[in-house]
Amino acid sequence: MRHFIVVGILTIIASVLLYLGLSAAHLMPVAASAQAVPIDWMWNLILIVMSFFFSLIVVPMGYSLIVFRRRRGETGEGAHFEGNTTLELFWTAIPLLIVVSFSVLGARNLAQTLARNPQAPVIKVTGLQWSWRFEYPADPETGLVVVSDQLHIPVGEQVLLRMTSSDVIHSFWVPEFRVKQDLVPGRFTELTITPTEVGSYKVRCAELCGTSHYSMEKPVVIQSQADYEAWMAGELEKAKLASSSPEGFGQLLVQQNGCAACHSITGGTLVGPTWLGLYGSQVELSDGSAVTADDAFIAESISNPQAKIVKGFESVQMVQYAFTPDELSAIVAYIKTIK
Amino acid sequence: MKNNSLGRAFLLLVIAGAIGYGIGLGIDFSIRGELKLSASVPSAFALLFSFTAFFFGLYGYRGITRGLVFQVVGTVIGAALVTGIRALMGLESIGAFLFTEPAWVFGALVGVISFFFGVGVMTDWVKWARGIDTPDHHEDEPGWQKYFGVSLDHKVIGIQYTVTALFLLAVGGTFALIFRTELAASGLDFLTLDLDVFNQNGPQLYNTLMSLHGMIMIVSILLGISGIMNYVVPLLVGAHDMAFPRMNAFAYWVAVPASVLLLLALILGGFDTGWTGYPPLSSRAPLGVQMFFLGVFTAGWSSILGALNVIATVVRMRARGMTAMRMPILVWASVATSIIALTATQLIGLSFQLVMFQRLFGMGFFDPGKGGNPVLFQHLFWFYSHPAVYVFVLPGLGVISELLPVFVRKPLFGYRWVAMSSLGIALVGFVVWAHHMFTSGMNEYLRVPFMYSTMLVAVPTGVKFFSWVATMWGGKIETPTPMLFVLGSIVVFLLGGVTGPPNAMVALDLHLHDTYWVVGHFHDTIFGGFVFPFFAAIYYWFPKATGRKMNEFWGKVHFWLMTPSFFALTLGMMFIGLRGMRRRIVDYDPALGFDGAHLFLTVCAFLIAISILIFFINFFRSIKHGEPATGNTWNSRSPEWQVPSPMPAHNYEVPFEVVGEPYDYGLPGSKFVEFAAKTAGKH
């Protein structure tokens, strides 16, 4: 009996210490969304249960190893008992109760993180190898649509992300917001986010999506309503300006579609060839032939990238982009300017 | 002698590797028109030539050597056939890796089938088909050479499985060390963008190594559990062999060409999909992914047929008096595992086959552009791949329950509950698969029932833990190396166990999914449920197989080096995972501040590697130089220890009868088995 009391006390002490240690360690990153609140609450509850059950097994094991070890010169066998049905029923029923209660709590918890304001503005998100594209609601006055590779949300406002992918599966994750949702080609998935802390974060693709999966990260900026409006006004201005010249329009398209994830404009080699000095140059292809990088070649390389593969990039499969002829010529016009 | 042939084998390996590389380089040059040392074809030739030559040096042109030669020749003939047909049809006939993708896939398939004929595992069946009788048993040649050819003895096959598993463990571990080194600091350090090895740049090579680490370890585990089950289960139930010895040999030899295909996947362009191979990523990945799919598909046969054999053996071949509730607990665990492996493995084979067909024939199963559904693949895939986790760990948990009473000198607490909990885990395991898909975009509220079912797994698992603790309570605990690994298993598996429910809670999983938290969690479950028990089993049954013990001192060094390093490794992984470290990335944002943590994790990984190197040296040295141990080394009640070691070729000369409970340590005068008198005749 003395053994049971000692082990019981030690287990409780160990559980408490373990829990206090774990919660003092601040294991989770800063919580920056309303959705993080129920999730962090659940994490805390789970920490208590984890600390308890870990101690409940490890402490009696450690105790047995010390107290019931075979001492030097000791012979004979251990105490003979084969089991105890009451005890087995007890440690089947109690955990069963705990897991069912947790599941009930978990379902409610999920409902809280999914809680949705039907009037929330919708931002269309597209994942592509290897960038993010955010399409904001149309400007009510001009009808212009701002598209960016950055996600800006005013603090405290709930937004609905309606997401899809243009190639393979990606996953939207901002660790500070906690919630995560895959982007699946051919369908839309949704994610509700209510940012609560002003700051700069990053959306990080959480589903393996190929060569540059690791760098598929883009800024997420949570700002005051005023700052947000100023940013939006600036983007609208840019969009207007851009539509006045083909080069500007091309540059905007390039930025919106995340082309810079693979193609540098400074001469460095990324996943794809650089655009610096590309226009008019001789390009060596994988089959040994060479072509001049003219309008037709560049346009073809965008809309049907596998047609002519540049030497040294055989292992990379660029996605086909469905631009209109006007957009293609705007992009070519922009690439012309990169010398 | 053996040392001479080993030296010769290594010499041949180097020479043939060089010759193969040269030939491959020549072929590559003649097609490409330029000399590229890091191209795929030379290395593929080097790999196949050196493997084959190594076994030729060791064993001559028979058994595995002949199988590998047949595989290579079969692959080339199959690929040439398709290439010829394509050329005649006016289709593209030369691909980036010498052959085109359809040619490689067909060639690889022909190669695998050729291997079976070459190695000789089909010989008896072919003879039967032609009406020729063969003897029931084939006597193996004495000594180590029998391990390199087809043997029908379950003990030989068990050791073949185990050694192959250890080899793959080393290969998979080496891959992990390579990418762990890259991760030690942020930035692309040596897997850079301008690297070009096997037609892959640095991040692509990382993706391949990371994906293959996963699958090679999985195959290693499947072979490892088959090793334990094959060697031990017939001994525990008192059978003279497995129920279907030829199928048993076949199941092992399937795994060899499968392993070759997996290694070829690395060289033939690699693949960047992770071991999960989700389309659409896998439907557009390089050629390597086809070799990977085919390798897994082939290895799956090993698992299915092996499982069938275990179930038949346990059902039909138990000794007199061994009722269900008197079977050793490891037998129960093996049955539970085999039920899953027999019925679920088909699903991963099917899901991979569908993607293969999508690539080869343009069938749009998972292509949204053709009305397919990428999420459907995930359902098919996880319907096996979650239960598979229980396939990996149930035998290990069986080993824990089997060995614990021996070293505690007390009966296993609640035998029936422990036995039934294995079946409970196996059955519940079938209805939890979608918990891998909480963020996948499947119906939002469908996640709730899967949360319930997943949480239920904790109940039978808890029963095991409580029973183990109660078994230790009041014992006379001894701690030789096997027991240390048993204790290590329990604590490591416990850590994996308590970090599981957070993933099951849907909302919390939205944060945890696809992070290093999950990586840490499952390494805990797999090390606790397989790796530690596997080592325990090897240290424990090594004397039974060899008549010698592995060195205790170095065994303890292995344990005390590996265990703390492993704890630090997985706890560190979970920590950075919570803080925002994603899975499967070759580089991380330095702003996250993980450089120090990753350096630490890399050091831990290397310490584990050193400990495993110590194990390997101990293992191979002890075969010849270990302390002789021919008796009941661990003072066990189990039948295999009641006869001298090493085990005789046809197991028990006289059959035994079960006369008591398996684990009644401490009950004076009790016995588990009793052997019939010598004169009682043969089995």
Domain ranges in chain B are 151-628
* Tokens, residue A135: 């399409």
A58: nearest CB among B207, B408, B491: B491
Asked whether residue A75 is assigned to any structural domain, the reply reads: no
Q: What gap in Å lies between CA B456 and CA A289, rounded to an integer?
A: 63
Q: DSSP E strands: which ranges in B482-586?
A: 548-549
What is chain A's length? 339
- Clarify whether residues A250 and A217 are in a common domain: no
Per-residue pLDDT tens digits for B451-479: 999 999 999 999 999 999 999 999 999 99
Q: What gap in Å lies between CA B583 and CA B576, rounded to an integer?
A: 11
For B516, which residue in chain A has the nearest alpha carbon? Answer: A206
- Clarify whether residues A209 and A278 are in a common domain: no
Where residue B567 falls among pLDDT bands split at 50, 70, 90? Answer: very high
- Clarify whether residues A45 and A132 are in a common domain: no
Q: Which of A222, A242, A262 is the last residue before a domain boundary?
A: A242
* Tokens, residue B330: 């490891």
For B214-252, b where at least 16 C-beta lie within 10 A, e where not — what string?
Answer: bbbbbbbbbbbbbbbbbbbbbbbbbbbbbbbbbbbbbbb
Look at residue B3 and tell me whether its pLDDT is greater than 80.
no
Per-residue pLDDT tens digits for B253-277: 999 999 999 999 999 999 999 999 9
Average of per-residue pLDDT across B439-454: 91
| Cβ neighbour number for residue A318 with a 10 Å cutoff | 18
Q: What gap in Å lies between CA B486 and CA B563, rounded to an integer?
A: 12
Question: Of the ranges B336-350, B481-495, B666-680, which one carries the lowest mean pLDDT score?
Answer: B666-680
Q: What gap in Å lies between CA A129 and CA B65, rounded to an integer?
A: 44
Cβ distance B193 to A61 less than 8 Å, yes or no, reads: no
Q: What gap in Å lies between CA B327 and CA B314, rounded to an integer?
A: 9
- What CATH architecture does domain B151-628 belong to? Up-down Bundle (1.20)
Please, what is the Cα angle at B153 between B152 and B159, to 5 degrees? Answer: 110
Cβ distance B455 to A179 less than 8 Å, yes or no, reads: no
Asked whether residue A24 is assigned to any structural domain, the reply reads: yes
pLDDT at site A315: 75
Q: What gap in Å lies between CA B283 and CA B137, rounded to an integer?
A: 46
pLDDT at site B1: 44
| Cβ neighbour number for residue B110 with a 10 Å cutoff | 21
User: What is the total count of domains within chain A?
Assistant: 3
- Clarify whether residues A128 and A228 are in a common domain: yes
Look at residue B432 and tell me whether its pLDDT is greater than 50.
yes
- Clarify whether residues A209 and A253 are in a common domain: no
B528 touches chain A (CB under 8 A): no
Look at residue B175 and tell me whether its pLDDT is greater than 80.
yes
Residue B280: asked if its preceding bond is cis (omega within 30°), the reply is yes
Cβ distance A180 to B413 less than 8 Å, yes or no, reads: no
Q: Which are the contacts of B644, defined by CB distance < 8 A and separation ≥ 6?
A: B630, B631
Measure B357 CA to nearest chain A CA, in Å.
18
Per-residue pLDDT tens digits for B335-394: 999 999 999 999 999 999 999 999 999 998 999 888 899 999 999 999 999 999 999 999
Per-residue pLDDT tens digits for B298-307: 999 999 999 9
Q: What gap in Å lies between CA B405 and CA A81, rounded to an integer?
A: 12
B584: nearest CB among A169, A189, A208: A208
- Clarify whether residues A222 and A259 are in a common domain: no
The CATH number linked to A301 is 1.10.760.10
Q: Are B446 and B429 in contact, with CB atoms under 8 Å apart?
A: no
Cβ distance B281 to A102 less than 8 Å, yes or no, reads: no
A52 touches chain B (CB under 8 A): no
Helix B202-237 and helix B532-546: axis angle, to 10°?
A: 50
Measure B665 CA to nearest chain A CA, in Å.
7
Q: Which are the contacts of B162, defined by CB distance < 8 A and separation ≥ 6?
A: B223, B224, B227, B228, B231, B538
Q: Are B147 and B156 in contact, with CB atoms under 8 Å apart?
A: yes
* Tokens, residue B277: 């191979």
Q: Are B169 and B177 in contact, with CB atoms under 8 Å apart?
A: no
pLDDT at site B2: 54
Domain of A318, in residue numbers: 246-336
Residue type at position A227: D
* Tokens, residue B353: 């086959």
pLDDT at site A218: 95
The distance between the two most distant Cα atoms of chain B, rounded to a whole number of Å, is 82
Measure A252 CA to nearest chain B CA, in Å.
26
* DSSP element (H, E) containing B469: helix B458-472
Q: Which of residues 127 through 186 in chain B touch A, CB cutoff 8 A?
A: none
| Cβ neighbour number for residue B446 with a 10 Å cutoff | 11
Asked whether residue A82 is assigned to any structural domain, the reply reads: no
Q: Which of residues 256 through 295 in chain A touch B, CB cutoff 8 A?
A: 269-271, 288
Look at residue B140 and tell me whether its pLDDT is greater than 80.
yes
- Clarify whether residues A173 and A191 are in a common domain: yes
pLDDT at site A333: 87
- Clarify whether residues A20 and A97 are in a common domain: yes
Look at residue B682 and tell me whether its pLDDT is greater than 50.
no
Q: Which of A199, A223, A242 is the last residue before a domain boundary?
A: A242
* Tokens, residue B395: 């035998």
pLDDT at site B467: 95
Which residues of chain B lie closer than 8 angstroms to A213, CB-CB?
A: 203, 207, 272, 584-585
Asked whether residue A70 is assigned to any structural domain, the reply reads: no
Q: What gap in Å lies between CA B189 and CA A89, rounded to an integer?
A: 56
Per-residue pLDDT tens digits for B19-58: 999 999 998 888 878 888 888 889 999 999 999 999 999 8
B508 touches chain A (CB under 8 A): yes
Average of per-residue pLDDT across B384-405: 94
Q: What gap in Å lies between CA B546 and CA B629, rounded to an integer?
A: 9
Where residue B103 falls among pLDDT bands split at 50, 70, 90? Answer: very high
The CATH number linked to A191 is 2.60.40.420
Cα B110 to chain centroid, rounded: 24
Asked whether residue A76 is assigned to any structural domain, the reply reads: no
Cβ distance A65 to B203 less than 8 Å, yes or no, reads: no
Look at residue B680 and tell me whether its pLDDT is greater than 50.
no
A183, β-bridge pairs: A170
Q: What gap in Å lies between CA A142 and CA A136, rounded to an integer?
A: 14
- Tens place of pLDDT per residue across chain A (339 aa): 889 999 999 999 999 999 999 999 889 999 999 999 999 999 999 999 999 999 999 999 999 999 999 988 888 888 888 888 999 999 999 999 999 999 999 999 999 999 999 999 999 999 998 899 999 998 888 778 888 999 999 999 999 999 999 889 999 999 999 999 999 998 999 999 999 999 999 999 999 999 999 999 999 999 999 999 999 999 988 888 877 788 888 888 888 888 888 888 887 777 888 888 888 888 888 877 888 888 888 888 888 888 888 887 877 778 788 888 888 888 888 888 888
Cβ distance A91 to B466 less than 8 Å, yes or no, reads: yes
Mean pLDDT of chain B: 93
Look at residue B144 and tell me whether its pLDDT is greater than 70.
yes
Cβ distance B458 to A64 less than 8 Å, yes or no, reads: no
- Clarify whether residues A295 and A203 are in a common domain: no
Q: Choose the mutation target among A4, A15, A80 for the interface with B, i.e. most B CBs under 10 Å.
A: A80
Asked whether residue A171 is assigned to any structural domain, the reply reads: yes
How far does chain A reach from its first CA to its final CA, in angstroms?
Answer: 85
B505: nearest CB among A46, A54, A312: A46
Helices (H), chain A: 2-24, 36-67, 85-114, 225-242, 246-256, 295-303, 325-336
pLDDT at site A289: 85
Average of per-residue pLDDT across B407-412: 94
